[in-house]
Amino acid sequence: MPSLNLLGQALLAGLFTGGLYALLGLGLSLTWGLLRVINLANFALAFLGAYLSYQLATALRLDPFLTLAIVVPAFFVLGVVLQLGFQRFGISELVSLIVTFGLTVILESLIQWIWTADFRRLETPYVRATLKVGTLYVGVSGLLGFVAAAGLTLGTWAWLRWSYLGKAARALAEDGAMAAAFGVDRRRLALLLSGLSAAYAAVAGLFIALSHTLAPSQIYAWMGVVFAAVIIGRLGNALGLLAAAIAIAASEALTMAVTSPGWAPLVSFTLLIVVLLLRPEL
Amino acid sequence: MLEIDHLTVAYGDAVAVWDVSLVMGERELVTVVGPNGAGKTTLINALAGLLPIRAGTLRFDGVDLGRLPSHRFCRHGIALVPEGRRVFGGMTVEENLEIGCYASAARAHRPQSLERVYGLFPILRERRRQLAGSLSGGEQQMLAIGRALMARPRLLLLDEPSLGLAPVIADHVFEVVAAIHGDGVAVLLVEQNVAQALAIAARAYVLEQGRIVAEGAARELAQDARIREAYLGQQC
């Protein structure tokens, strides 16, 4: 049995990883839940964002967080353009999955072409900075990532729940034609949501760059577990996503601490299957 | 107020409404009756901007609405109570009503409009925090009407508001429609309950197989032998 300290450290790591899952899943959950677009390219976009932040921080010696000022607006535009394409061709939910898979492969090749398949590591003071709280070591970049994840998911949840535009987005998801009949401009709102989702991918990318070594093939490593978090948290529900992401990551971290790292992937999918069995209406 | 001239509406290649001309004045209550599949819902959805117009013109207060996107229609004062109610089931009653006044002109009157709707349907005030999907059919119909009223329409389009409701509740819905009309709102009512529709409307159109086959004062149509036989189940 591992020591309490180790368990605490594992839970903390789970919390931070959960934040990353939530950041990566936020855009996916929004476009899937509200626009019926399953954007697999969300993951490749996040990695493109990670590499761009890496490049800007290394080449221009910018603070990594300042790179967001460039990458986030650029990704918002990218998300808008992507949705314009979807609207132009009026694609269905399933087709969106296939098209964005193709896009993922293209983005992966693009990343590999520019940055090669070698591992890249963003070296900044944030990466090694830690705080000591009691007997636990808290990584600063992990903590900042978690704060960003909590802030963005809670903010998005509150926006969807209380703002007029957020209510319009939910109405749009339920019955687009009726929402339009009461004055909701479907196309513009969809462009906004898609842009927002891509911007979230940029933020997720920065925190991946701060906490992980980058390689193009890593795009696929995150998909399964983030999909599980998005589905367990309910599509379009940002708060549910955060809770599911933390629950999955914490159980993974505990499994790794108690047994061996090899068992961790089993956890997220076992959770997914159990939740789907108990709540099949998802 | 509403002038429809030689209107044709189609789904792809299937034409559902042929060459329909219809006029409505301010504060009028007009009904469109006809058998299932005659194109009544198609016609009313086209008037709400949900379906594109193939040919003909649709003018409201002299403004040509025919080529406008759907979300621009309600700005001109047209609101729809659709067939099957189509409330936003995963949203609360009050959120449904708020979507009703989404357009900016209507949104400015949100508090007064909410009071008006809750005054008309006290049950909706009681249930305002409940999900619309958990309401009974009659309550959902009231919510659909309330949502349309939130848009402060000058023309209310009602598609089969009594469909699937218990007779007592259907009577209540008709009373409310008459009351809304009494407040000065023009109402276009599509109904399968022909007797009740002809009883509260001033004028009526009969739609069959996508074409207007008869029109006139509701009282006279109610006496018409063919109408009585076809729609009122009365032998002459």
* Domain locations along chain B: 1-77+156-164+175-236, 87-152
Alpha carbon of residue B54 to chain centroid: 21
User: Is A174 in Cβ contact with B91 (below 8 Å)?
Assistant: yes
Q: Per-residue pLDDT for A281 more than 70?
A: no
Task: Say what percent of chain A tops pLDDT 70.
Answer: 99
Which sign, positive or negative, has the C-alpha torsion B14, B16, B20, B25? negative
Name residue, tokens 């132009």: A88
Say yes or no: A178 contacts chain B, CB-CB below 8 A.
yes
> What is the nearest CA distance from A236 to chain B, expressed in angstroms?
12
Q: What's the pLDDT band for B77 if we cut at 50, 70, 90?
A: very high
Among the listed ranges A103-117, A206-220, B192-206, B221-235, which one has the minimum average pLDDT value?
B221-235
- Interface confidence, given as ipTM, is 0.93
> What is the nearest CA distance from A153 to chain B, expressed in angstroms?
20
Between B97 and A275, name the one with better pLDDT: B97
Give how far Cα B37 sits from Cα of B20, B34, B86, Å: 15, 8, 19
Give the residue from B33, B64, B32, B30 showing the smallest Cα distance to B49: B64
B→A contacts (Cβ < 8 Å), by residue, are 48-50, 69-75, 79-80, 82, 86, 88-91, 95, 98-103, 106-107, 147, 151
Using a CB-CB cut-off of 8 Å, the residues of chain A touching B106 are 183
Q: What's the pLDDT band for A190 if we cut at 50, 70, 90?
A: very high
- Decide: B138 and B175 in contact? Cβ < 8 Å: no
Q: What's the pLDDT band for A81 if we cut at 50, 70, 90?
A: very high
Summarize pLDDT for A5-30 with one digit per residue, the tens.
888 999 999 999 999 999 999 999 99
Which residue in A has a C-alpha nearest to residue B49's C-alpha? A181
Say yes or no: A167 contacts chain B, CB-CB below 8 A.
yes
Structural domains of chain A, ranges and CATH numbers in brackets: 4-116+129-278 (1.10.3470)
Summarize pLDDT for A125-166 with one digit per residue, the tens.
887 788 888 888 898 999 999 999 999 999 999 999 999 999
Q: What is the DSSP string of B122-133?
A: HHHHHTTTSBGG
Between A129 and B190, name the one with better pLDDT: B190
Using a CB-CB cut-off of 8 Å, the residues of chain A touching B73 are 181
Give me the phi and psi of A279, to 5 degrees please.
-130, 70
* CA–CA distance, A163 with A155 (Å, rounded to integer): 11
Summarize pLDDT for B102-132 with one digit per residue, the tens.
998 999 999 999 999 999 999 999 999 999 9
Summarize pLDDT for A30-66 with one digit per residue, the tens.
999 999 999 999 999 999 999 999 999 999 989 999 9
Q: Per-residue pLDDT for B67 more than 90?
A: no
> What is the nearest CA distance from A101 to chain B, expressed in angstroms?
30
The confidence score (pLDDT) of residue B193 equals 85
DSSP state letter for B23: E
Q: What's the pLDDT band for B235 if we cut at 50, 70, 90?
A: low
SS3 per-residue string spanning A7-29: HHHHHHHHHHHHHHHHHHHHHHH
* CA–CA distance, B61 with A212 (Å, rounded to integer): 63
Give the residue from A100, A108, A57 showing the smallest Cα distance to A79: A100
Q: Per-residue pLDDT for A280 more than 80?
A: no
Whether this prediction's pTM lies above 0.80 is answered by yes
Once rounded to an integer, what is the mean pLDDT over residues B166-173?
Answer: 92
The confidence score (pLDDT) of residue A282 equals 57
Q: What is the DSSP string of B52-80?
A: -EEEEEEEETTEE-TTS-GGGTGGGTEEE
Using a CB-CB cut-off of 8 Å, the residues of chain A touching B79 are 181-182
* CA–CA distance, A74 with A151 (Å, rounded to integer): 21
Sheet holding B211-217, edge to edge: B78-81, B155-159, B186-190, B29-33, B203-208, B211-217
Sheet holding B14-24, edge to edge: B14-24, B2-11, B53-60, B63-64
How does B177-212 read in b/e, with b if 16+ C-beta sit within 10 Å? beebbeeebbbbbbbebbebbbebbebbbbbeebeb
The confidence score (pLDDT) of residue B211 equals 93
Superfamily of domain B1-77+156-164+175-236: P-loop containing nucleotide triphosphate hydrolases (3.40.50.300)
> Which site among B50, B68, B71, B74 would you substitute to test the A interface, given the most A Cβ atoms closer than 10 Å to its Cβ?
B71
Say yes or no: A277 contacts chain B, CB-CB below 8 A.
no
